[in-house]
Structure formats: C-alpha cells, structure tokens
Amino acid sequence: MSSEKIPDIIIGRLPVYLRALQHLSDRGIQTTSSQELGGIVGISAAQIRKDISQFGEFGKQGTGYSIPFLIEKLSHILKVDRVWEVAIVGMGDVGHALANYNGFANRGFHVELVFDNDPGRIGTKVGDFEVHDAADMAERLKQHKIKVAMIAVPAASAQEVADQLVKAGVKAILNYAPTSLSVPEDVHVQYVDPVTHLQRMTYYL
Amino acid sequence: MSSEKIPDIIIGRLPVYLRALQHLSDRGIQTTSSQELGGIVGISAAQIRKDISQFGEFGKQGTGYSIPFLIEKLSHILKVDRVWEVAIVGMGDVGHALANYNGFANRGFHVELVFDNDPGRIGTKVGDFEVHDAADMAERLKQHKIKVAMIAVPAASAQEVADQLVKAGVKAILNYAPTSLSVPEDVHVQYVDPVTHLQRMTYYL
C-alpha cells in the first residue's frame, strides 16, 4: 500500500463509509457487504469495493466485511484511531453549534479550546468551555499543540484568523466562513458553505 | 452540451468557482484567468479550464474569462439564476445559524419557512422568521411549493423529517444531522458533517 498515490476523491469517501459502519456497529451488526454499505451511503457497491481494495484485502468473497475490522482499518488509515484536540474560533451561532456538537466523540476529535474576540463573550461559558480571548490564541494553541481548528468567524475576519492559526502550527482548518482562504501548501482546508452544497443539488432539479 | 453526461465531481466544483468569481466581482474586478481562479480555490488552472470547457467556450486565449459572463453562465448551469425558496427544519444552534446566515442572498436561495417541534420554540421568532409547528410542515411546504430544505434536527429524528419532506415534494435536502438518509432516487441529499471533513484532512497529517 502506497498511501501517497491514493486520489483525494477516494480519501473523501472513506469518512462516509466509516460513519455508516459505525452506525451499523452501534446497532450491534457485525458484518456487512458492499451492497448494504452502498445502499446506506448512496454509492455503488462496485465503487465501494474498488475504494476499499486500494488499501488492502479487507473483505472476503461471499462473507463480506467484518465491521469491527473495517472500522479499525479505516480509522487507522484516516488517523482517527487517536484523538485530535481541536480549537474553535468564533462563538457565534455556528461556533456554539460546533462547541455543543456531540458527534466528535469516538470519531477522533475532542474540542479543547474555544476563542472569540468579543469582550462580551470572553470569559463566558459555552457548554463546558470557557471562551478564551482570541488575542492569546497563538500562545494557547502552541501550548496545547493543536493541529486542527475550525473557523466560525465572519467572512471578513476569516483570512486573518487563518493566518494566526497557521503561524501557531495548525495544519488542518475546517472553514465555516463563506470565503476562500490562502494557506501554505502543507496546510489543509475544507470548506463548509451551505450554498455550495445547495447549488450542487439545484443543478439536478 | 449534454448536461446529462457531466460527472458529478465537476458539478461539485462549479459552486466553488462561482463563489470565487462573485468575490472577485464584489471587488470590482471584471476579468480573470484560470491561474488566478486556481490560486483562489486551490485547484489547478488546467483542471479549471477543463471543467469549464465542458459547458462551452467561455474564455478566450490570452484575455481569460469575463467575470460577469462566467458568473451568468455558471449561475444558469447551476440553476441559481433564479431564487429557490428554502425551508429549515430544526431551530437549535445549527438551525439558528442557518436562519441568520447572510450568505444566501444573491446566490440563488431565500429562506422562506422555519420549523421546530418544541412547543417552547413554536411561535417564537428566529431573526425575521416565525418558527412554525413541524406538525403542519407538509401542508405549508406544499402551499409554498418548497423544493429545497435543510435538516438541522438531532440524528434520531432526521430520517422521519426527511420522509415528511419527500412526501411534501422536496427534491433537495441539505442534511446537518450526523446520519445517512434514505430517500427516493429523484431526491438529492448532501451532508454537512464536520467530522467527515476533519477526517478527510487528518489522513494527510
């Protein structure tokens, strides 16, 4: 297995397979097939078999996939068989929703720090988290060795926040601000913009 | 141009190009190149040229793309040269954030109706919107001929809500609940799950 050569589009589907496998596992189901998985995630069974086979022989003809085994393998490939501490910058509605989101546990992430620059918010609590002053962000991120962060600030501030995150050593940014970010090549950015998702669907209507 | 044959992966990139073009346009810029666009969105110039050329000859060698022209063409292709009325189901943190999101305007969408099933929320205001009782959802959606909806309810309720949306004629669902949905073939679903986005990046760390 040479992970360098796996196309990003395949990597992008693995978390979707992993989520579906974890749902099946939560229901006590131990084995599945590419047909069943395909039905859940809306991807053809052939594509799923092809994607998974890029990483090794994880299934058996006739008996399908062992769910615990495949969860273990995919978690290892995606490096979520550990826990990544995450920072959230911006405690408006989106930041609140992320801080209170209960879907991170057991999926490789734990919110460790939350920040805002509004004096009215700094020092208050959001869920279990104390809101820290964004002015001290770089120092705290370095202290906690944070590599993963989510940006939930207005579009006009997003690039400035991204620059600070990069300087502090963050290597993966999930950006909720509706704007494109410029980052160095070794920093990864994913965008969550409801409009791009909606526009992708209206094409077909 | 035969839109039936364009791969979905290309369709998925068009909204990203459109967003970047609109940013350039907002700054008063009239022309751009695939190099400039590529720098903004993090996709190679060659890929951008190839993607856009699927739909016609929209750029000129040497002079690049007219931004207003390309915005018009991409908006038409994505069917966002009109306004789609949108419903939001679930008025927790995520629903609040979506109802207050100011990025829908001029991008093809307008929030028309918001719903919740919590008696403490029904009848209250979220931003400009009155929260309607989810029990009356199907009827209201049909009255307003809503085809596009966003689900922001807990995972356990998401499938039930999706079933109601489908029955009421909704054809495009943006699902914020961290669970996969089963819908008929003519209904499109996109997922917004922070963890799948994060996992896609940790692979590279």
Among A204, A158, A205, A165, residue whose Cα is nearest residue A188: A165
User: Is the pLDDT reported for residue B167 higher than 60?
Assistant: yes
**Residue of B186, B189, B202 to mutate for A, most A C-beta atoms under 10 A:** B202
Cβ atoms < 10 Å from Cβ of B36? 17
Cα–Cα distance, A87 to A111 (Å, whole number):
6
In this predicted structure, what is the pLDDT of residue A78? 97
> How far B78 CA lies from chain A's nearest CA (Å)?
4
Q: Which residue has the higher pLDDT, B199 or B42?
A: B199
In this predicted structure, what is the pLDDT of residue B39? 82
Cβ-defined contact of A15 to B84 (cutoff 8 Å) = no
Task: Tell me if residue A116 falls in helix, strand or coil.
Answer: strand
In this predicted structure, what is the pLDDT of residue B1? 46
In this predicted structure, what is the pLDDT of residue B2? 47
Q: What is the dihedral of CA B138, B143, B147, B152, to 10 degrees?
A: -50
Per-residue pLDDT tens listing for chain A (205 residues): 444 578 888 898 899 899 999 989 988 999 999 999 988 887 889 989 999 999 988 877 777 899 999 999 999 999 999 999 999 999 998 999 999 888 898 899 999 999 999 999 999 999 999 999 999 999 999 999 999 999 999 989 999 999 999 999 999 999 999 888 889 999 999 988 899 999 999 999 9
What's the rounded mean pLDDT across residues B16-21? 92
- Nearest-by-CA chain B residue for A15: B196
User: By the 8 A CB rule, do B41 and B20 touch?
Assistant: yes
Which chain B residues contact residue A18 at CB under 8 A?
A: 199
Cβ-defined contact of A198 to B86 (cutoff 8 Å) = yes
Cβ-defined contact of B84 to A40 (cutoff 8 Å) = no
Cβ-defined contact of A148 to B198 (cutoff 8 Å) = yes
Reported as half-sphere exposure (CB side, CA atoms, 13 A), residue A175 has a value of: 28
- Nearest-by-CA chain A residue for B10: A200
pTM attached to this predicted model? 0.81
User: By the 8 A CB rule, do B119 and B91 touch?
Assistant: no
Cα–Cα distance, A66 to A69 (Å, whole number):
5
Q: Which helix (H) or strand (E) holds B130?
A: strand B129-133
> How far B196 CA lies from chain A's nearest CA (Å)?
5
- Nearest-by-CA chain A residue for B96: A93
Task: Give per-residue pLDDT as tens, B100-138.
Answer: 888 898 899 999 999 999 999 999 999 999 999 999 999
